[in-house]
A and B are shown apart, each in its own frame.
Chain A
Amino acid sequence: MRSDLDIISTWIKPGQKVLDLACGDGALLERLQEQGVNGYGLEIGPEQISRCIARGVNVVEQNLDQGLGNFADNSFDTVVMTQALQTMRFPHLVLQEMLRVGQECIVTFPNFGHWRARWHLAFSGRMPVSDLLPYQWYDTPNIHFCTFKDFEVLCQELSIEIISRRVTTQGSGRMIKQALPNFFGITAMYHLRKR
């Protein structure tokens, strides 16, 4: 189980109604269902949709770049988007939509400010390619990278309150890494609500 899913599971309370944007194979929703959370996943990948159905997870085929206009304001307790914000055409509009449809939202994304990415760019002079982000720049679904700092500036601009923030790190020295998330954090996890 991905550790970010562990953390997300603790942010969502049993009985809540959840919308999982770009829900992938439905692993998070399946886990949430086990803890009594009801929800739907939105997904666009045919194979992912089939996997969700095989898991018994509610999945609806929908292109997120076309918005969430089919959902009423505040119709969900929490709207989740894991590792997909960077693939959206307009991440800021998606964020605003998430907070219109949900009371709260949870977003996770790869931190482009991680020291490895900085190292790669600084010394090889080329866009980082890593295990987590294995794509070449010209052929990647990840079209809008940001760092923790970038994201928090955006939250400020959009009047979004950060309820809590976590990062996943690698290796030892967890304390210092949590203290310098923009440098050591691999995946950023934000729990947000409207201010």
Chain B
Amino acid sequence: MSEIDDHSVGLVEPQCAEFNEALELASGRRLEQYQLMYECYGELNGDASNAILICHALSGNHHAAGFHSYEESKPGWWDAYIGPGKPIDTSKFFVVSLNNIGGCDGSTGPNSINPETQKPWGPDFPRLRVRDWVNSQARLADLLGIQCWAAIIGGSLGGMQAMRWSLEYPERVKNCIVIASAMKLSAQNIAFNETARQAICSDPEFAEGHYQQQDIIPRAGLSVARMIGHITYLSGDGMGEKFGRQLRSGTFEQGQDEPVEFQIQSYLRYQGEKFSTSFDANSYILMTQALDYFDLAREYDHDPVKAFCHAQCKFLVVSFTSDWRFAPARSREIADALMAAGKSVSYAEIESDAGHDAFLLPNQRYETVFSNYLKGIAQQLEVSNNAQ
């Protein structure tokens, strides 16, 4: 049973929104109907001006904060930052978190039934781009009566969604918080994603993506994919400090031929195995492809300054020193482009040895920067509400 303290949003219940109007996708295909799983924390104010949208990263979902039951062992994935008195303060803001289409936690995705064939979509699910998620999120905003978000916040792939929002729906977002993200992936990043995808595809149990119909799961492939990902989400120093060369079993004593297992081996295997039973392989492929395809300025003559000229909101950009997957340099490029475009922006580079994962973990300075910025938004809301 979990401890639920005063700073937790407590017990939460996921909701499901059905959309029957077709969603035109960037690929030219369309999704005739789809559903989105989402959760809400806090209360929407009278003029619906205090809403915050949380965009999840690669393997995230709608369960960002609180607990689904007293039996749940861990809270939502961003519980450290969402709750009463936390940086994303649910006593002031109405927070919406959803599972994106293409995901595997209840929103329409490769493991859903294709209404045309009455079989799981599997590998035939339309390939998605970040803008498709943004468009589907805008429909959810319409449904919830939110004309303009007080803030859209995302880390990593979530940050890409937040930035895309600022360009696609400039009048519908007041603040955009982009954490440990990038305007496009580097070749090295795409290489890691491709290796992960190949690990999945080369598993015989993947069955070219039709594993669901055969009632099998490419467990080994997905597990290796996650292990690769996991290594890149940590920093070398952080990993060294946590695991070093500690042994889990075996010995190097002379005359001993017992097999040796390092702690890091068993840790990675555990992470891989856990992930392989909780995540869908086709979703993983689809999500990593969306990451690879994202290029903020592609249709703005590859000029990020020109792209950001379309934005009307204020920006907060945050990076972490030891993050080599989404290095601080990538975030500085965002801040530089925003300054050159004359947009309101603040940028902080947070000292951390937790690598890319730092955006999910408690960190004093990160919390201060984050909450100071959001307090400013809350104050402005109060001022404008008092003025009315």
B345 touches A60 (CB 8 A): yes
Closest Cβ of chain A to B218, distance in Å, is 42
A15 contacts the other chain (CB 8 A): no
The yes or no answer to B365 lying at the interface (CB within 8 A) is yes
Point out the residues of chain A lying under 8 angstroms from B375, CB to CB. Answer: 54
A46 touches B344 (CB 8 A): no
A60 touches B335 (CB 8 A): yes
> Are B344 and A61 touching (Cβ within 8 A)?
no
What is the interface size of chain B, counting residues whose CB is below 8 A from a CB of the partner? 21
Bound-state CA distance A52–B316 (Å) is 12
Known: A53-B373, A56-B376, A75-B340. A40 touches B365 (CB 8 A): no
Q: Say yes or no: A70-B336 contact (C-beta < 8 A), given A53-B376, A60-B346, A61-B349.
A: yes
Q: Are A53 and B346 in contact (CB under 8 A)?
A: yes
> Given A49-B369, A54-B372, A70-B332, do A40 and B349 touch, yes or no (CB 8 Å)?
no
A-B contact count (CB 8 A): 50
Which residues of the other chain, B, contact A56 by a CB distance below 8 angstroms? 376
B362 at the interface (CB under 8 A from A): no
Q: How far is the CA of A44 from the CA of B101 in the complex (A)?
A: 40
Report how far A56 CA is from B339 CA in the complex, Å: 16
Given A50-B369, A53-B373, answer yes or no on A38-B342 (Cβ-Cβ < 8 Å). Answer: yes
CB under 8 Å from chain A, chain B span 358-386: 365, 368-369, 372-373, 375-376
Nearest Cβ on chain A to B387's Cβ, whole angstroms:
17
B347 at the binding interface (Cβ < 8 Å): yes
Question: Across the interface, which residues of B come within 8 angstroms of A70, CB to CB?
Answer: 332, 336
Across the interface, which residues of A come within 8 angstroms of B316, CB to CB? Answer: 53
CB distance from A36 to the nearest CB of B (A): 14
Which residues of the other chain, A, contact B23 by a CB distance below 8 angstroms? none
Whether B185 is near chain A, meaning CB under 8 Å from some CB there, is: no
Tell me how far the C-beta of A176 lies from the nearest C-beta in chain B, rounded to whole angstroms.
44
Query: Which A residues touch B348, using CB under 8 A?
Result: 46, 49-50, 53, 61
Q: Give, as a whole number of angstroms, the nearest-CB distance from B81 to chain A.
A: 16
Number of interface residues of A (CB under 8 A): 20
A58 touches B372 (CB 8 A): no
Which of B336, B345, B346 counts the most chain A CB atoms within 10 A?
A: B346
List chain A residues, Cβ under 8 A from B349: 61
A1 adjacent to chain B (CB < 8 Å): no
The CA of A57 and the CA of B373, in the complex, are separated in Å by 10
B-chain residues with CB within 8 Å of residue A116 when the two chains form the complex: none
Bound complex: CA A185 to CA B316 (Å): 40
A49 vs B372: C-alpha distance when bound (angstroms): 10
Among A60, A71, A72, A75, contact of B347 (Cβ-Cβ < 8 Å) = A60
Q: Check B365 against A60 for contact (C-beta < 8 Å).
A: no
Considering only CB atoms, which chain A residue lies closest to B350 in the complex?
Answer: A46
Q: Which residues of A are found within 8 Å of B332, using beta-carbon distances?
A: 62, 70
A58 and B365 form a contact (CB under 8 A): no
CB atoms of A50 and B340 under 8 A apart: no
The digit string for B263-292, where 1 denotes a CB below 8 A from any CB of A, is 000000000000000000000000000000
In the complex, the answer to whether B347 meets A61 with C-beta atoms within 8 Å is yes
Query: With the chains together, A46 CA to B318 CA distance in Å?
Result: 12
Chain A CB count within 10 A is highest, among B344, B348, B365, for B348
**Contact at A72–B340, with CB atoms within 8 Å?**
yes
* Cα of A183 to Cα of B372 in the assembled complex, Å: 43
Complex CA distance for A70 and B375, rounded to whole angstroms: 30
Task: List B residues 303-340 near A (Cβ within 8 Å).
Answer: 316, 332, 335-336, 339-340
Min CB distance B325 to A, Å, is: 20
Across-interface contacts of A58 in B (CB, < 8 A): 344-346
**Which residue of A38, A52, A71, A72 is within 8 Å of B346 (Cβ)?**
A52
CB distance from A183 to the nearest CB of B (A): 41
A52 to B347, CA, bound (A): 11
Q: Does A81 contact B (CB under 8 A)?
A: no
State the Cβ distance, A69 to closest chain B Cβ, in Å.
10
Answer whether residue A177 sits at the interface, using C-beta atoms and an 8 A cutoff: no
Contact A50/B342 with A61-B347, A61-B348 known, Cβ cut-off 8 Å = no
Q: Which residues of B contact A72 (CB under 8 A)?
A: 340
- In the complex, the chain A residue whose C-beta lies closest to that of B328 is A61
Q: Which residue of B lies closest to A56 (CB)?
A: B376
| Proximity bits, A1-39, B CB within 8 Å = 1, else 0 | 000000000000000010000000000000000000010
Q: Within the assembled complex, what's the spacing in Å between the Cα atoms of A113 and B351?
A: 39
Cβ of B28 to closest chain A Cβ, rounded Å:
38
Residue A59 at the chain B interface, CB threshold 8 Å? yes
Give chain A nearest CB distance to B349 CB in angstroms: 5
Interface residues of chain A, those whose CB is within 8 Å of chain B, are 17, 38, 40, 46, 49-50, 52-54, 56-62, 70-72, 75
Question: Could you list some 22 contacts between A and B, CB below 8 A?
Answer: A38-B342, A40-B345, A46-B365, A49-B346, A49-B348, A50-B369, A50-B372, A53-B316, A54-B372, A54-B376, A56-B376, A57-B346, A59-B346, A59-B347, A60-B335, A60-B339, A60-B346, A60-B347, A61-B347, A71-B339, A72-B340, A75-B340
For the complex of A and B, 10 pairs with smallest distance between CB atoms: A54-B372, A53-B372, A60-B347, A70-B336, A61-B349, A50-B368, A59-B346, A56-B376, A53-B373, A61-B348
* Additional pairs, 18, CB under 8 Å, beyond known A62-B332, A71-B339: A17-B342, A49-B346, A49-B348, A50-B348, A50-B365, A50-B368, A53-B316, A53-B348, A53-B376, A54-B372, A54-B375, A54-B376, A58-B344, A59-B347, A60-B335, A60-B347, A61-B349, A62-B347
